[in-house]
Structure 1
Amino acid sequence: MTDAQPDKTTLRAIARQRRSNFVASLDPLAHRLAFRAVPSPLARRMDGAQVVAIYMGLDDEAPAQRMAAQLQAMGKIVALPRVLDRLGSMDFLIWPTDGQLVPGLFHTSHPEPVGDPVSPDVIIAPLVGFDRAMNRLGQGGGYYDRAFARHPDALRVGMAWSAQEIDAVPADPWDLPLDIIMTEVELIEGQSAERPQA
């Protein structure tokens, strides 16, 4: 007798529903305060980093953009992803947080391209789901998988609401584990050795 594990498509549906229910039930003040501060352990891990890539949260996603002001106050260059095509390609553009954003693919938005894309030292990625083994469940397009592979020395940080935790996320051979997962209630650090930041 074998215990069939849910596939990623099923897990995405479950995690999205959990996220939606959780955010709908969240106290409005608690929602507004969530993810505004960079936790001290994460700040320490980012100490030598220059460029930190965040994202603009869509719908019920954990809103990474709320950390932008503190990251800038810490002396970091903040970047946002720009989706380049429908095949999983994206790059990162510097975001002067007072600058306008322009619409991108899949309802995303990114800074007006000025200068060349940047190479992030830290990539903060949205999660559909996650587990305690530091596996991430993304949207399924492979954009962050490719970004992690292109920037192998970048610190990989996932952001999600705590309700998006799953017992076990199936990991494919190309999936790179996260170094840190940040939720509204805790910071989960992986067992992997810390990579020095340039």
Structure 2
Amino acid sequence: MTPERPPNQMSLDREKSEFRKTSLASRRWAAEKSSPDASVSLSDHLVAQFGEMSGQIVSGYLAIGTEINVAPAIARLEQAGLVATLPVVTAAAQPLKFRRWTAGTQMEPGPLRTCHPAANSPEMTPDLLIIPMLAFDADGYRIGWGGGFYDRTLWKLRAEKKVIAIGAAFEAQRVEKVPRDEHDARLDWIATEMGLIEITPSN
């Protein structure tokens, strides 16, 4: 028998569910109203900060729906000498895996509307992760679709080595406070078309 969830957790789950709905609507608005050059500006900021980390492994993502496009950033970071990967959803409630990606990589469809490098691409462990989100706050917390894939991944990777987690979004996705609990992993940086925010203990 599945144990009952405590009332406070059920209340937070409901709060997050409602927050996702409003955040998705806000992101749609942000994507419609943002400059066509938003992804280029985001790319400029990321390359300026992380472009000298040649040899490090970076994970990006293929934008779904109104997620901000990080493909220009990944391409430029790869040109700067970083090694590009994309995430792979293997199963529910499991950390993500990452496979090598280049412009000529064979791709295959995955669950949840994702697309990832085919199984013949080597698995790699990223040093930097560029992560999509529905909303973020100045404390470095994000909210996504609710699958917990990135939270599990960050907890796992951080137990193994130092990694840098960078949330990517439109500036208009910033909120005062994201609902969160102890399972939610904090980001190290926020990247928007307006610039970068480094998350420090004082945040």
Alpha-carbon separation, structure 2, partners of 1:32 and 1:130 = 17
What is the deviation of 1:148? 0.2
Which of 60, 63, 70 lines up with 1:57 in the alignment? 63
Q: Partner of 1:19 in structure 2?
A: 27
Deviation of 1:68 (Å): 1.9
CA contact (8 A) 1:131 1:165 kept: yes
Q: Distance in 2 between matches of 1:90 and 1:177?
A: 17
Question: For residue 30 of structure 1, what is the aligned residue in structure 2?
Answer: 37
Match of 1:43 in 2: 50
TM-score by length of 1: 0.85
Is the CA contact (8 Å cut-off) linking 1:54 and 1:79 kept in structure 2? Answer: yes
Alignment match, 2:126:
120
Q: By how many angstroms is 1:34 displaced? A: 4.3
The structure whose residues are more often helix, as a share, is 2
Q: Can you list the C-alpha shifts for 1:17-67, whole angstroms capped at 9, x where unaligned?
A: 01101212334x3356343334355316x6366100111110100112221
- What residue is the counterpart of 2:170 in the other structure? 161
Contact 1:49 1:122 in 2 (8 A): no
Q: Which segment is superposed worse, 109-118 or 9-18?
A: 109-118
Query: What aligned pairs does 1:138-157 form with structure 2 within 5 A after superposition?
Result: 138-152=144-158, 153-157=162-166
1:7 alignment partner, SS class: helix
User: What code does the residue aligned with 1:154 have?
Assistant: V
TM-score (norm 2): 0.83
Structure 1 position 9 matched with structure 2 position 11:
no
Within 5 Å, give how 1:167-182 maps onto structure 2: 167-182=176-191
Q: CA deviation at 1:116?
A: 4.2
Contact 2:126 2:163 survives alignment (8 Å): yes
Counterpart of 2:131, as a letter, is A
**What code does the residue aligned with 2:75 have?**
A
Amino acid at match of 1:33: V
Rounded to whole Å, the distance in 2 between the matches of 1:131 and 1:67 is: 22
Once residues 178 and 143 of structure 1 are traced to their aligned partners in structure 2, the CA distance between those partners, rounded to angstroms, is 14
- Residues in 2 aligned to 1:39 and 1:116: alpha-carbon distance in whole angstroms: 25
Helix, strand or coil at the partner of 1:105: coil
